[in-house]
Every structure is written in C-alpha cells, then in structure tokens.
Structure 1
Amino acid sequence: MVTSGGPRPLRGVCAFAPSLDAMTHAAHAADEAGFDSVWTCELYNRSATVTLAAAAMRTRNCRIGSGVIYGVGRSPLMLAAEARDLDELSGGRMVLGIGNGTRRMISDWHGLDGDAPAVRMEELVPLLRRIWNLHEGPIKHDGRFYHLHIQGLDDLASPPERDIPIYTAGVNPRMIESAGRVADGLLGHTLLSPRYITEVVRPAIDKGARHAERDPAEVKVATYTLASANEDEEQARRDAAAMIAFYGSVKSYGLLFDVCGFAEEAKAIQGAFRQGDVDGMIAAVTDAMLDEFALAGTPQQVAEALSRFDGVADEVVLSPPTFRVPAERVAHNLALLTEHCAPGNG
C-alpha cells in the first residue's frame, strides 16, 4: 500500500445505481453534502448523457461529469452537441469524460475498428473542440477514424459559453499518454491505486504532454476509486472483492495487476471466469488485493483511507461496487459515502 502526504484531492461521487431515480437521488444528496463533482457512466443498459441530464436538474453547485461516455458510440458531431447541451443545462458545470472501452468492446459492442484506440482518441478530442468553434471556419476533416465536412451558418456556429473541459479515460500507458497529448485531464479506472498512479499514470501523462509540447502540470489526474462502506466491515469487503473479480476477468487490465504484484491472482480470476465460476473468481481476490485496490470497511475506515490519495491525484471519485450487490445495498453504500466522506468531513 502506498501512502503519501500532500494536498487533499477534490472529492466526487459516481452516482451509478440500478435505477434512474436512485441515481438522481444520490446526485442530489452528494451536491447537498458539498461534494465537488457527481459523475455517471454508461454500459449497454444506461446512457451517460440521459442520466447526466437528470443529475443536472437535481444539482446546483457541483460539477457533473460523464465517467465515461463512449466516444466510439456517437459521431463527433452528436457527441459535441450533447456535451454542449449538458453544459448549458447545468449552468456551465459539465466535464466531458470520454472513453473507448476495450478493443473488444469497440469491435463487438459498437461494430467499429478496435485497432489503435489511443490514436482514435487523439483524433476525436481536437475534432470536438473544432466543432465547438465552428465560427472559426468550415471543417473539412478526413482522418483515419472520422470524416466530417460541415459549415456553420450565422448564430448556429457560435461557440459555447465556455471551454468545456475534456477528460479521457485510460488504464494502460499508451492510452494514458493520450490524456497528456490532447485532454484537459485523465479520468482513471476504478482500480487505479495510488501505487499505479505514481508508477505508471504520472510518467505516461508526462510523456504524452511533452510529446505534444505541453506542460504536464496542465493535465489533471482524476480517478475513480472503489469505495465500499458498510457497518458490517466484512460485508463491505466482500462487495469490493466481487467488483475486483469482475475487473480482474478482463485481460486488458493485466498490467494494472502486474504492476501492483497480483499477476498470479489475476490469472486465477481469469481461469475461474473461463469456467463460468463466479464464486471462484471472487474467492481468488485476496485481502492484499482489497487493501491495494479498494477503500472497503466501515464508513469511518473508508473515510480515513481516502488520505492514501493525498498528493497523488487531483480528484478522487468514489465509486460503489455494483457487481453482485443488491440495489438496496448499493443505495445504502452511496448514502454512507455521502455522509462520511464529504469534503467538509476531516
């Protein structure tokens, strides 16, 4: 476990829950509690833009962020338009967090070319900014992944009220470099531990920024972190273990486990996954893995463990485990995190 002193990061909450009503309730509660940001994500059963629109209507002060929206799931034109609408709806509080997912998700879920996801992202982000500034002139873009020919007319080409910040997602070094090259920040994966941020993320951002002749300090590091709070410490740890097992089944995250010293455990999780043995996957998650990848325990223990990210990240987004966790326990966890981990608490 890495511990570090330094500035305390901003704090956010991922209000991802089994229902839209539960998500908007969690967003409202986090905003009232003084959290700096509220984030929602998407999968094959949820849209980040729709849930963010609902969150925008139930919050007043915190930033709202897509963590993440699939950049590959929309054309650049529609992605730019949706982000602009969300920024206006929220009164200038939008953070556009974009991810591609794994190569297989790109090809199997979206039916697109799964090669070179970092290059795809590096083409997309500048194009979004160009669309927002269509008043500067027509766009004639024919790239490797995107083709766009458009000319704005009069007030239809006016820019947004402000520059909407763009954060890109990444786990492996080359994808993290993309944030350094083109984005305002990196949005880290749920299992990015302080060790991984220090040893892999910061150097990769530095490399990407210098490649683009940017100052690495301009690129913020925001990261999700697996946060599981329950009055029953062991229940909290079991819920977190299930989520770690879920992610451990994905080979694309292998480096993350390798760097942190859990290559053999990851192999065991993947072996159980191939057999369809979910209980075996979870059983392969050790206490050491829990301590590395999760903040799990009583509400007070989780609140105290947040200090691990002091001086390491610029923002930490608390993300509740959802895999094999009943809806009522997800909601209870979110309520406990909101109560005990708000920025004003210690």
Structure 2
Amino acid sequence: MKLGLQLGYWQAQPPTNHAELVKAADESGFDAIFTAEAWGSDAFTPLAWWGRETRNVRLGTSIVQMSGRTPTSIAMHALTLDHLSGGRMVLGMGVSGPQVVEGWYGQPFSKPLARTREVVEIIRKVLAREGAVTNDGPHYPLPYRGEGSVGLGKPLKPITHPLRADIPIWLGAEGPKNVAQTAEIADGWIPIFYTPGSAGMYQPWLDEGFARPGARRTRADFEIAATCHLEIVPDAAAKQAAIDAMKPFAALYMGGMGAKDANFHKQVFERMGYEQLAGTVQELYLTGRKDEAAAMIPDALIEDLHIIGTEGEVKEKVAQWAETGVTTLMLSLRTTDEVRRIADLLA
C-alpha cells in the first residue's frame, strides 16, 4: 500500500508550509501528493506550483469538481500537467453536490451519473488524440448546436500531443450506483469514508461495476485511494485527545455538509448503520449547536474512520486498511517531521 499526502484546499489564506511538506513527501518515499478544491482555491494550480520541485511523487487532484470546467478544459489541464511533470499526473474528479454545482458554478446538478460518464468519455477522446473530438450526449454536446449557437462549431483535436493517452482517471463516488459506475469506467476510486468497518458494504457495488461488459479495470489493477487522518500518539491520554479533536470534522460531514435533504455524506453514515445518530447530529448542527453535535460522535466511529495510536497500533491498523483493498492511503499531515516519521514507520 502506497502513501499519499493530502494537501486539501486552502482555507481563508494560502497555507505557509505546503512547499516543505511536499519536499519531505518527495524525499521520504511517498507515492503522491494530492490537492483539492471547494469554492476558493483550485486544485490544478498548486500541483503546478509546488510540484515543480518534485521528482518522484505523482501529482493528483482529489478532487476536481467536474461542473467547474468543460470536459475538454479538464483534459487540457491534465495534458499540460502530465507533460510538465514527466508523466506523473493523476486526474481525480467528482460531481460535488447541488449547493456548489448550482450555487457556485451555475450549472444544473441533475443526472450526475450520466454527466460523469460523458466527462470521462470526452477526456479519454482528447487524450487518445485519434481524431476530432465529438460527443452526441445531451450534457456536453460537441460541437454545440443548441440555443444561442451561431452554427460554426468545428470538431477539433488537441494541438498538443498528449504525453500519455492513459493518464489515470480516479473518481470520487459514494452511493451504490456511482461506485459501481466508477469500477466500470475509471482507473481508481477516491472514497471519502472507506474504512475497515465499512469496506464490506462497498464490495458488491464494486463487483457489479467490474462485471459489466467493457469494464476498464479488474479488482487486481484498480486503485482505491482512501483518505484518513493518521496520528502517532505516545499514550492513551494523547490518543483520546486526538480522537476528540476529530469529532467536529465527523459532525460537519454528517450534519452540515450539503443541503438537509441532499447531504450525500450523511447518507454514507446512514448506510454504515448510523441512521439515528446522523439525524440527531444533523439537527443539532443545522440549528447552530455544533459542539453538541460533535459530542454525539462515538469514539468507535472515529477509530474506524482514522488511524490514531502508538507506533505499534498504527502499523497494525494500517495493515487492516491494506487488507480491505486500499492501494493508497491519503494522509493529511501537518509537519515535515510527521511526514518523515510516518514514512519511516511504514516503509
């Protein structure tokens, strides 16, 4: 199992230590670094900026929001970064949610699975560069002939020859149909809550996708890049403090991420068996009682979602994650010492 450094997206100000974290990851044997985006910083620019000094790590987006760019624009970003990095680009994408898609990008959220399939197909056509890129689908027609068209759209193929036609495409997916489609059409999957405790729930969905005619990958060569917080602690008291510190983040995803009736993260927790808890946490969170919501999160859930413990406990838990089929652990780390210590421990 490989290690990835999850840099995430920027908060109110740009981070001050990501260059150092990236350098440490590149020198310590990490396989990849990943950047994200919400409605502030974008995912591609930091990879170009911080990745320019790296030699070893792959450069991945986790994730690019598909509604923020046309499929051909996403392909251009990936094509460019793949050339600049010497073939180290990993394109991670996702549909995001209706609040962001319609509220920030001004695009319709409906038909997310069909839109995802079209985006992937168009990007692969661009990277293959076998001819002019066209698409007959309803979501991203190429050439465009709809309302407002002047009728002069011309099928094109990229001027720049892609370095690789098979840049890995990983998809963020949470629900049964989306996970199955990801296993069918993608090279990898970026789950948000894939853990030793929940892994069994996902296996039939993945198997359904792998079994579809024309599936791109098999379980043997399909990547699962799971995200978690990993923290080495000296004793039980420090472990409890670390667990407590993660509860507000679990409460945010369970209760405050997305619209009340369209919180896809909450739905994952419900499928994991926390339906009653998720409802209570959401009610507390949406009424401003965030501390009470966090206090409802049980220790056992945090211990399943994340890897927290002494060095021995961490090694044991990492092995459990590997047994579930995880090929890459995406870790959010705060210091270069943490990066190097974890790399040494798990080497």
The alignment partner of 1:171 has SS state of: coil
Partner residue, 1:288? 300
The whole-number CA distance in structure 2 between the counterparts of 1:159 and 1:331 is 35
Partner residue, 1:325? none
* Cα RMSD after superposing both structures: 2.3
Greater RCO structure (CA 8 Å; 6+ sep): 1
1:89 maps to amino acid: L
1:241-252 aligned within 5 A: 241-249=247-255, 250=257, 251-252=263-264
The whole-number CA distance in structure 2 between the counterparts of 1:303 and 1:243 is 24
Partner residue, 1:159? 162
1:85-104 aligned within 5 A: 85-104=80-99
2:273 is the counterpart of 1:271: no
2:18 is the counterpart of 1:12: no
Q: Identify which of 136, 143, 157 aligns with 1:142.
A: 136
What TM-score do the two structures reach when normalised by structure 2?
0.85
In structure 1, list runs of 5 or more residues that go unmatched: 1-8, 321-329
1:83 Cα deviation after fit = 0.6
Instruction: Provide Cα deviations, 1:117-139, integer angstroms capped at 9, x if missing partner.
Output: 111111110110111233x2222
The whole-number CA distance in structure 2 between the counterparts of 1:75 and 1:343 is 41
1:49-68 aligned within 5 A: 49-68=44-63
The structure-2 alpha-carbon separation of the partners of 1:343 and 1:83, relative to structure 1 and needing over 3 Å to count, comes to farther
Further displaced range: 237-246 or 215-224: 215-224
The whole-number CA distance in structure 2 between the counterparts of 1:138 and 1:20 is 41
2:183 is the counterpart of 1:177: no
The whole-number CA distance in structure 2 between the counterparts of 1:225 and 1:306 is 11
The structure-2 alpha-carbon separation of the partners of 1:343 and 1:266, relative to structure 1 and needing over 3 Å to count, comes to farther
1:300 Cα deviation after fit = 5.7
Partner residue, 2:115? 120
1:114 maps to amino acid: F
Partner residue, 1:34? 29
The alignment partner of 2:211 has SS state of: helix
* Contact 2:191–2:227 under 8 Å retained in 1: yes
The whole-number CA distance in structure 2 between the counterparts of 1:99 and 1:319 is 19
Instruction: Provide Cα deviations, 1:266-309, integer angstroms capped at 9, x if missing partner.
Output: 12210111211111121111111112212234566444422221
The whole-number CA distance in structure 2 between the counterparts of 1:160 and 1:208 is 29
2:105 is the counterpart of 1:110: yes
Partner residue, 2:150? none
The whole-number CA distance in structure 2 between the counterparts of 1:55 and 1:63 is 12
The whole-number CA distance in structure 2 between the counterparts of 1:254 and 1:241 is 15
The alignment partner of 1:146 has SS state of: coil
Aligned residues: 323
1:81 Cα deviation after fit = 0.5
1:104 maps to amino acid: Q
The whole-number CA distance in structure 2 between the counterparts of 1:23 and 1:212 is 43
1:179 Cα deviation after fit = 1.2
The whole-number CA distance in structure 1 between the counterparts of 2:204 and 2:99 is 26
2:241 maps to amino acid: Q
Partner residue, 2:147? none
Q: Identify which of 305, 311, 321 aligns with 1:309.
A: 321
The whole-number CA distance in structure 1 between the counterparts of 2:327 and 2:120 is 21
The whole-number CA distance in structure 2 between the counterparts of 1:156 and 1:279 is 54
The alignment partner of 2:334 has SS state of: helix
* Contact 2:4–2:33 under 8 Å retained in 1: yes
Partner residue, 2:222? 219
Partner residue, 2:146? none
1:183-194 aligned within 5 A: 183-189=186-192, 191-194=193-196
| Sequence identity (%) | 24
The whole-number CA distance in structure 2 between the counterparts of 1:208 and 1:291 is 29
The structure-2 alpha-carbon separation of the partners of 1:35 and 1:205, relative to structure 1 and needing over 3 Å to count, comes to same
What TM-score do the two structures reach when normalised by structure 1?
0.85
Q: Identify which of 263, 269, 272 aligns with 1:260.
A: 272
The alignment partner of 1:262 has SS state of: helix
* Contact 1:38–1:62 under 8 Å retained in 2: yes
The structure-2 alpha-carbon separation of the partners of 1:230 and 1:221, relative to structure 1 and needing over 3 Å to count, comes to same
1:243 maps to amino acid: F
The structure-2 alpha-carbon separation of the partners of 1:159 and 1:51, relative to structure 1 and needing over 3 Å to count, comes to closer
Q: Greater Rg, structure 1 or structure 2?
A: 2
The structure-2 alpha-carbon separation of the partners of 1:236 and 1:253, relative to structure 1 and needing over 3 Å to count, comes to same
The alignment partner of 2:17 has SS state of: helix
The whole-number CA distance in structure 2 between the counterparts of 1:122 and 1:229 is 40
2:128 is the counterpart of 1:133: yes
